[in-house]
Amino acid sequence: MKISAKVQNSAGQHHITLRTNEDVHSLAIPPKPTGFGSSANGGELLFLALATCYCNDIYREAAKRGLKVEQIEVEVEGARPTGWQRYKIHFGKGHQ
């Protein structure tokens, strides 16, 4: 499986193209108010990737077991430490 993510950015333009093998799709994230760069930061996108992966895993594993899942909400939160440190990520049940 070949996976890629491509960002093209210029004044007022921020285009994202995602690809897995031949499946290509876009993700809409506007540029920063200054017009350059992404309005989403890398930490937010990292947490989005974790939440998306976990969501897809739940649907996939439920289907394997013949279980029907109607809705999933996954929230990943954390804090960005100052300076270069490690992220500590906790996966848990969350709020009911």
Residue 86 and residue 95: Cα distance in Å, rounded?
A: 25
Q: Does residue 32 share a domain with residue 3?
A: yes
**Would you state the pLDDT for residue 95?**
47
Secondary structure of 31-93 in the HEC alphabet?
Answer: ECCCCCCECCCHHHHHHHHHHHHHHHHHHHHHHHCCCCCCCCCCCCCCCCCCCCCCCCCCCCC
Query: Chain-wide mean pLDDT for the chain?
Result: 89
Q: How many domains does the chain contain in total?
A: 2
Residue 22 and residue 1: Cα distance in Å, rounded?
A: 10
Q: Does residue 55 share a domain with residue 25?
A: no
For 52-84, what is each residue's pLDDT tens digit?
Answer: 999 999 999 999 999 999 999 999 998 877 777
pTM for this structure?
0.75
Residue 64 and residue 91: Cα distance in Å, rounded?
A: 22
90 occurs within a structural domain = no
**Would you state the pLDDT for residue 82?**
79
Q: 18 and 24 in contact (C-beta within 8 Å)?
A: yes
Domain range for 45: 41-78
89 occurs within a structural domain = no
